[in-house]
Amino acid sequence: MVSNQKTFNLFSISEARNVIFGIATLWIGLFHCDNLTLATFTDNQFLIDAFKFFRGSGNIGVDMFLFLSGIGLYFSFKKDSNLLHFWKKRLMRVLPTALFIAMFYFSFRYVNGRYESGWKTYLRRVSFLYFFEKGERVFWFISLILVLYLLFPVFYKVIEKYRLVGMLGLVAVTVGLTFLLRQFAPTFYGYWEIALCRVPTFIIGIWAGKFVLEKKEINRNWLWLFLIIVIGMSTLMYFYTPIMQSLVKGYNKSMEAMWIWFYRYTGAVIGIFLVILDSFVCTSLRHKGRCNLLRNFFEFVGMYSLEYYMIFLNVNHYLERIYEVQPKHEFMLYFGSFFVSLALCVVVRKLCDFFMNYMQRKPKNLAELKAARKAAKLAKKAK
């Protein structure tokens, strides 16, 4: 939604939601392709370093996803604030697909001898509890998002009642708890920091949901400030290691887990403002009738973001291990994994939708069957 040449309507974030989901999802996938490099195609060190930094910054896609999720949940809860309805709708959107993929993945790993732990550990892995116990990061994002769904009503009520103060208070509490855990339980901090440092982004998304829903307009000059912030924070991320070496005496790779919060929170700021800037670009292009094919492509990927996140990472890594892919073939592997994963996404969605539709019909069919049997007995007695 573009109202005039001087203002930007925040509802554009909602309009471009699936497109940005697609961009964030693909960026996350790129982040996990560790060996993907331009070195085999060019000797230009600037291009090589720029691509490496872009690929290495792909975890910002998680923050973009969580910010949009907070906005989306605000919309959903505004329409229906019944807790049971809300949780059922959210969990049914995630759990069937997540459980199906997790069961297949971990079963495959156990059968092939990758894991030797017993069936109890297998169940904890499949139910996404193992992340909280041992920090296993295979599907850590699913563990986080399920917890955030459960906590959302609390966040929502605090923010609705106290607005900016409530949001800042919740962010302060989550950041404070993260640092307390870092200080007094460093082992669990090492397990959970990848999730804990992302919670503030989700909370800010809930707070922003009100402005998006009410179609708040802001002066377009603010977009230039957001762009400057993104560039500034990206610079900090680029020089993260030298900065930490200058600030922390004796800083080395083994200390990274304890100081990674600096990197995470910087990425969160970038992710939030990138969502706003991307929504402006997407809606502007749409109103001008440009890049329709590209936008439709990103929107298609965004529709399968959950499935793609869980499938692509493991397909890519599995194929890489099997075929011992050389650096010059990494791009072939990436695009091959991409198309295979998209096809699997569609298949998995169809299977899960069929299963859920069947399960929802089954109680009705049983009730009809019992009623028919009862009617038959009554008719028999009447004779």
Residue 277 belongs to some domain of the structure: yes
Return the pLDDT at 199: 97
Return the pLDDT at 345: 94
User: Residue 219 — left, alpha, or beta (φ > 0 → left; ψ -120 to 50 → alpha)?
Assistant: beta
What gap in Å lies between CA 269 and CA 258, rounded to an integer?
20
3-state helix, strand, coil in the chain (%, to 5): 80, 0, 15
Residue 333 belongs to some domain of the structure: yes
What gap in Å lies between CA 94 and CA 320, rounded to an integer?
28
Domain count, the chain: 1
What residues of the chain score a pLDDT lower than 50?
Answer: 1-2
Nearest to 22 by CA among 275, 381, 251, 303: 303
Alpha helix segments (H runs only) across 185-255: 186-196, 199-213, 221-238, 240-247
Q: What are phi and psi of 57, to 5 degrees?
A: -95, 5
Nearest to 233 by CA among 195, 189, 273: 273
For 340, the domain range is 7-382
The answer to whether residues 313 and 103 touch, using CB atoms and an 8 Å cutoff, is: no
Residue 55 belongs to some domain of the structure: yes
Distance of CA 154 to the CA centre of its chain: 21
pTM here is 0.90
CA angle 152, 145, 363 (to 5 degrees): 85
Q: Write out the two tokens for 341.
A: 């994963």
Residue 2 belongs to some domain of the structure: no
Residue 230 belongs to some domain of the structure: yes
Q: What are phi and psi of 219, to 5 degrees?
A: -65, 135
Return the pLDDT at 157: 96
